[in-house]
Amino acid sequence: MYAMGRQTTGQKLRSKARTINALLVRELMVRFGHGNIGFMWLVGEPLILTIGVMGMWTLLYGEQKHGVKIMPVVLTGYSTLTLFRHIISRYVNCFRDNAGLLFHRSVRPVDTLIARGLLETVGVLIAFFVAYIPMRLLGYFDPIYDYSLLLSAWFLFCFGISGFGMIVACICQMSETAERFVQPMLYLAIPATGSFFMVAWLPESAQKIVLLSPLVHCNEMFRAGYFGPSVATSWNGWYVVTWALVNNAIAWTLVKRTQRHIEIS
């Protein structure tokens, strides 16, 4: 199983997949354990929060704003924000939490990151649908317009954020002080995510500024998939793709160097 080299690429990929699968299930167990509602809690957590925020927003601002029902906007925005926050904060702690696992020859620090990322990607997406489906059945929500666009937006977004998260995790691994800036940064970044507004709501001058943020493009793309052409969205697919690829390219080179510095106490 561990003989030096001589593994085909196929074998290597399969064994990596096995490793990440094992780590994924472990992450699941660790976060949501046996004693609670089990793995349903994974989706329950974002759902409860989403419904709560949605309720509050509707109470404060009424059902429609700018010609769009507010709740789907909040749902989509909150989902992407949740993913953003979860991935960044959980990536930052990942190396430390999983340092002990490095004794297993097949586990590399980057595998633990991927496992966490996958968990969040799928989990928050499921939470989104768990909130959407009842609302749709009760007639409060319109049906999703374009699933393929919706899902490609989501996965592209997750891919990009994962890359960004990796970079942050590596920086925090190398420097202790950097870690303290992460939480404040997350809060300060909220306007830049475009989760709580749509670009169309803003004056043109503001729009130009806001469209510099790739996260805004992701949110707009996601909403475009949800609402369809009935709602004005502005996004550039290639901008998002470029951002995601560049992020991940930097992330992977950084992670390779950082892995050498990880030490078990």
Shortest distance, position 19 Cβ to another protein, whole Å: 6
Single-letter residue type at 217: H
Q: Taking CA 157 as the corner, what is the angle to CA 139 and CA 261, rounded to the nearest 5 degrees? A: 140
Strand, helix or coil at 65? strand
Eight-state DSSP code of residue 201: G
Cβ 85 to another protein, closest distance in Å? 23
Question: Which of 68, 102, 130, 202 contacts another protein by CB under 8 A?
Answer: 102
Q: CA 56, CA 61: separation in Å to the nearest integer?
A: 9
Question: 26, 69, 96, 136: which one contacts another protein (CB under 8 A)?
Answer: 26
The correct pick among 42, 54, 101, 254 for binding another protein (CB under 8 A) is 101
Q: Considering only residues 10, 60, 103, 184, which one is a binding residue for another protein as defined by CB under 8 A?
A: 103
Using CB under 8 A as the binding rule, whether residue 34 contacts another protein is answered as yes
| 138 touching another protein, by CB under 8 A | no
Q: How far apart are alpha carbons 88 and 186 in whole angstroms?
A: 8
One-character DSSP codes across 102-113: GGSTT--HHHHH
Residue closer to another protein (CB basis): 85 or 108: 108
Interface with another protein, residue 106, by CB under 8 A: yes
The rounded distance, in Å, linking the Cα atoms of 190 and 192 is: 5
Considering the complex, state which of residue 27 and residue 220 has its C-beta at the smaller distance from another protein. 27
Shortest separation between residue 99's beta carbon and another protein, angstroms: 8
| Contact with another protein (CB under 8 A) among 13, 25, 40, 174 | 25
Closest CA to 225 of 136, 117, 120, 150: 150
Cβ of residue 3: shortest distance to another protein, in angstroms?
A: 7
Q: Which stretch binds another protein (CB under 8 A): 56-64, 95-103, 115-123, 233-241?
A: 95-103
Residue 113 tokens, joined: 């990151």
Binds another protein (CB under 8 A): choice among 9, 60, 139, 260: 260
H-helix segments, the chain: 9-32, 40-61, 70-97, 109-137, 147-174, 176-188, 190-193, 204-210, 214-227, 237-259
The site for another protein (CB under 8 A) is made up of 1-4, 15, 18-19, 21-23, 25-26, 29-30, 33-34, 98, 100-107, 260, 262-264
